[in-house]
Amino acid sequence: MLNKIEKAETDVLVIGGGPAGCWAAWNAVSAGMSVILIDKGYVGTSGATAAGNTTTIYTKRGTAERAATVDQRLRLGQGFAEQAVVETVLDRTVENLDLLAHWGYPFPTYEDGRPYRGMLRGPDYLRFMRQKLIKARVKILDHCPAEELLLSDGVVAGAIARYRRGGEALAIHAGAVVIASGGCAFLSGALGTNNLTGDGYLMAAEAGATLSGMEFSAQYGISPAYSSVTKGVVYFWGTFTNEAGDVLGEAGDRQSAVAQELIKGSVYAVLDKAPPRLQEGFRRGQPNIFVPFDRLGIDPFTERFPITLRHEGTVRGTGGLKIDARAGTTVPGLFAAGDAATRQAMSGATTGGGGPNSSWAMATGSWAGEDAAAFVKALGPLWRSRTVHRVSAVAASDRGEANDTVADVTDIVKQQILPVDRGFFRTAETLTAASQSLNALWADETWRSRRNARVREAEALIATARWVTESALLRRESRGLQRRLDHPEQNSALRKAIDTGGTDHIWTSYVSLSPQRMSHAS
């Protein structure tokens, strides 16, 4: 029952106001749907993209640049990226970037005056999209996090949300729902990720949705020890040293070399390989990288500074809700986009980084909006008369102030995931210990004595950590972001995806890749 709760109705409900959510809302309203867009924060300032600049991939099909980009995705995907998906994602990215230009978005230009569409300034981009949605009559509800989905005969039919300021619950009855709530960085402190706690994963899993690629979530970004900025491009021109000043070996990837040394002690970097012209370009293109240096009076191009690794999880990793060739999840009426959806077909077993992830958000967001609209049209007007029920057994009226142990619970989750010797490098021993601890937290009801947004976030963190841990335990090999010290080699027999799901009882299963993906396997 949904008594004593404010009610609303819309054709399409979009949960999450980052790039994927904005594109989903735009395409749904463009298809003639009424749309409500809700976000935990303020649409335009919350999320990873809003915190800085983001690269994009603007390459047209049939060009040498497109071929090189696709080849790179397939090579880095380590057997899991799919050429057809990469191509269609990049096609839609070109279309969307051209549409932004048509709308009047102020792209930068080359020195000869040609427009440069390989970079978007996050705050400007999302503020621009917000205004476009408002003019299109999308109803935006800021500071209104979703708590759970509504179902009707196994079909997703809306969601329960709650206003942060007043605490009032809102039941939104919808013909279709798009989850675009971002990934999960486990409150690591990485810039722009504090709101990204896996809420969408949990809501979808409670409704029966499947996740995939969760073991490919151990993405860590290099950042100054005193900064939250994990923009990694500048470190390609860096030299890394230990406390004694010895240069770290350059074999393998930078993150692994830094991670191995961080277990022993402090690590430092200096960006001494960047020529003056490139230094100037970095400062213009990624100014937020240099704010902490300037405040401390450090020249990062000539002076070494302490660095650390900050967990970025599925925000820059691969895992998320399993989708079809576009944006449909395994549950009718539910669509997923951006970091909320698994990027295995786009990025494989590795991080996509900025450009691929930005393109993925544009494309899947657009498809999610279009497909949600088509789903509603196929239902016809009778969807408004459906009987809906909550997924959770906990009524919204039971949700009040959380007790003081929620922070302790969150800290325990972070201890299982964030440390380099547990999250970056994995073993059966550390994973099994994490599994036992996380299962015990999930089963313990004492810290859930009162239910509010903090409790719900803690539940999402635990659930996401459990899917990550159980998937990593099942994959007994090292591949991409899955680094098993007890299984250091790739195993060609394990070139299969791992699906997972469930809440009270987590399940994991290998699933064969499509023949096309197998043909491009490394």
pLDDT tens string 165-175 = 888 999 999 99
| Closest of 412, 413, 505, 423 to residue 462, by C-alpha | 413
Q: Which two tokens stand for residue 399?
A: 């949700």
Mean pLDDT of the residues in the chain: 92
Q: How do residues 176-232 score in pLDDT, each as one tens digit?
A: 999 999 999 999 999 999 999 999 999 999 999 999 999 999 999 999 999 999 988
pTM listed for this prediction = 0.94
- Give the CA distances from residue 451 to residues 5, 16, 394, 440, 456, in Å, rounded to whole numbers and listed in that order: 16, 21, 9, 19, 7
Q: How many CA atoms lie within 13 Å of 516's alpha carbon, on the beta-carbon side?
A: 9
Query: Mean pLDDT across the stretch 108-137?
Result: 91
What's the chain's length in residues?
522
- Residue 264's CB is within 10 A of a number of other CB atoms, namely 9
Q: How many CA atoms lie within 13 Å of 4's alpha carbon, on the beta-carbon side?
A: 5
- Amino acid, single-letter form, for residue 2: L
Q: Which residues pair with 508 in a beta bridge?
A: 500
Query: In the prediction, which pLDDT does 448 show?
Result: 87
Backbone torsions φ then ψ of 150, nearest 5 degrees: -105, 145
Place of tokens 């335990």: 473
**Confidence check: pLDDT of 398 > 60:** no
**Confidence check: pLDDT of 515 > 70:** no
**Confidence check: pLDDT of 285 > 90:** no
| Buried-exposed string 394-404: b where 16+ CB fall within 10 A, e elsewhere | ebbeebeebbe
Residue 355 in contact with residue 55, Cβ under 8 Å? Answer: yes
Q: How do residues 295-319 score in pLDDT, each as one tens digit?
A: 999 999 999 999 999 999 999 999 9
Could you give the 3-state DSSP secondary structure of residue 349?
Answer: coil
Q: How confident is the model at residue 251 (pLDDT cuts 50, 70, 90)?
A: low
Cα 109 from Cα 441, distance rounded (Å):
52
**372 against 5, higher pLDDT:** 372
The dihedral of CA 443, 449, 451, 453: what is its sign? negative
Going from the N-terminus, what domains does the chain have, and what CATH number goes with each?
6-217+313-387 (3.50.50.60), 220-310 (3.90.700), 398-519 (1.20.58.100)
Query: In the prediction, which pLDDT does 166 show?
Result: 87
- Residue 19's CB is within 10 A of a number of other CB atoms, namely 33
- Which residues does 156 contact at the CB level (< 8 Å), separation at least 6? 149, 150, 176, 177, 207, 331, 332, 333, 334
The distance from CA 168 to its chain's CA centroid, rounded to whole angstroms, is 28
Q: How do residues 422-471 score in pLDDT, each as one tens digit?
A: 999 999 999 999 999 999 999 998 898 776 788 999 999 999 999 999 99
Cα 340 from Cα 434, distance rounded (Å):
23
Whether 254 is a known active-site residue: answer: yes
Task: Out of 127, 164, 254, 454, pick the active-site residue.
Answer: 254
- Residue 99's CB is within 10 A of a number of other CB atoms, namely 15
Could you give the 3-state DSSP secondary structure of residue 351?
Answer: coil
**Confidence check: pLDDT of 96 > 60:** yes
Residue 313 in contact with residue 197, Cβ under 8 Å? Answer: no
What proportion of the chain, given as a percentage, has pLDDT over 70? 94
Q: How confident is the model at residue 40 (pLDDT cuts 50, 70, 90)?
A: very high
Cα-based torsion angle of the residue sequence 232, 45, 338, 427 in order, rounded to the nearest 10 degrees: 50
Burial of residue 504 (number of CB atoms within 10 Å: 0-12, 13-18, 19+): exposed
Query: Mean pLDDT across the stretch 148-159?
Result: 97
Cα 489 from Cα 78, distance rounded (Å):
13
